[in-house]
Amino acid sequence: MNAQEYLDLARKEERERRNNPNQYDLYSYTYVWLKSRRPDLAKELTDQFEEIELQVNAAREVENVLQLEQLYDNRWEDLHDDDIPGL
């Protein structure tokens, strides 16, 4: 799985996770099961993630900056909407 595929699928999973309060426990259970019963596969997945980790982190940072810019722009518009005419 490449970085872009992971990010696309992860966004979908994150939305589903927000709607399910037990999702963290499910992910934790899945990881514990995989690591204890298929350590070879867990290692392979960890190694594959480490290959794309820098790309994933960079993409997340860009997303965060874009979200902050959007929040700033929205707040700037709100401030202008609050301007009192004649002042």
Provide the number of structural domains found in the chain. Answer: 1
Q: Does residue 87 form part of some domain?
A: no
Does 86 have pLDDT greater than 60? no
Is there a contact between 24 and 32 (Cβ–Cβ < 8 Å)? no
pLDDT of residue 14: 86
What's the domain range around 56? 3-81
pLDDT of residue 85: 60
pLDDT of residue 33: 97
Is there a contact between 36 and 29 (Cβ–Cβ < 8 Å)? no
Q: Does residue 86 form part of some domain?
A: no
pLDDT in tens, 27-85: 899 999 999 999 999 999 999 999 999 999 999 999 899 888 888 877 777 666 666 56
